[in-house]
Each structure stands twice: as C-alpha cells, then as structure tokens.
Structure 1
Amino acid sequence: MPTLPMWRVDHIEPSPEMLALRANGPIHRVRFPSGHEGWWVTGYDEAKAVLSDAAFRPAGMPPAAFTPDSVILGSPGWLVSHEGGEHARLRTIVAPAFSNRRVKLLAQQIEAIA
C-alpha cells in the first residue's frame, strides 16, 4: 500500500509515484503519514462523486486521533473539515487573504524573491 505524501521535486508536477498510481486507475487505497488508511482519488468523475456523497463529508467520517506531527488534510480544525454555516463563517474570515489583489501582490513578492 503506497504511503502519502509522495514528495514532489518541483511542487508543480506530480511525483513519479503519483503519476504511476494515476496511470493505474483513479482510486487507490493509501496510508497517510499518521498511519491512518484512506483513499486517494485522482479521477475527475470519481472525485465529483465522492465529494457529492454525504457519507464522505466530515460529519459522516468517524473521528480519528491526530497529533501535530501527523496532521493531514481534512483533520479537525481545517476549513475543509466543516460544513454549512461554520464553513461559511470560517471562509469569510480567510477570504480577504485570497482576494485577487492580495494574490497578485503575493505573486509579485514571490517572483522578486525567486
């Protein structure tokens, strides 16, 4: 069973391991750095189906114990772990940091550093 994350060299293109998995199908059972097992979905139609199914939403997931060194996307406290009003409230808080103006400014600063 593959273990995530599969580190990318340039952070833009998927790692060779990710490309190999994707070439063998859109859904794979994986192990996260925390040791928990889960599913890695790469196909558009498959991802859309999973994201549309209430069984895969945070409220439908069993709680898991996370430690600071093993936090994974979707763990308690992350924006994507919330639904409805709580998600909207948190999104309103962080939205200004992702405005077009702010992202363009950050891009300019990153290009200046690079």
Structure 2
Amino acid sequence: MGELDQVIEQCVEIFVKNCGEDSDCLNAKEFKGMMEKEVTASNYKGKLLKGDLTEAFDRLDKNKDEEINIQEYSRLISILIKAYYRKKYNRGGKGGRGAKRGGKGEGAEED
C-alpha cells in the first residue's frame, strides 16, 4: 500500500471512529472531541483549539444540518493540509497560484 493510500485510509478511519453509533456524520460534540484528541501538534493545537471550534463547525457544515458529513470533513482535511504546507514551506499563500508557471500570481509583473 502506498503512503497516500495509508493517509487516506487513516483520515477515513478517524472520521468513522469519531462518528456516533449508527451515524455517518459528526455532531458538534463529536467534532470538538475529535479535534481536541486528534490535533495535537503544537503548531496546530495552539491556533486551532484557541479558536472557536463552534465557528469552525458552523463553517464546515455547509448544508446547515448540524452535522459534518464525509464531504464536509474532507474540506477540513484540505484546509489542514494547506495550512501545514504554508507553515512548513512558507509558500502557497494567496496569489501564489500559477506564479511559477507564468501566471499572474504573487510577484508576477503586470503587462
């Protein structure tokens, strides 16, 4: 099994493990518990857990059913991946899209 396969499997298993019995979604309490238990790296924990997890839950809950489904959870994983990448490599911020390929990203000259 490839590394990416393992990461995908782990992300799904974390979601399923934290969903309530007979449910395929996270309610607000399960979401907060998952975040407190699973996000332990100091560069995340200080920022994520100081913030309002209720607000984060509300932003992820796009269909406003008071639950986070797998699609909404996948957005969370994407946000965390981007935050990690930006922090570790100090790049990939706003305006960076396409800049290295001649696009109008950060640092590109206007015509």
Q: Is TM-score (shorter-chain normalized) higher than 0.5?
A: no
Instruction: Please identify which structure carries the higher helix content.
Output: 2
Instruction: Please identify which structure carries the higher strand content.
Output: 1
What is the TM-score with the length of structure 1 in the denominator? 0.29
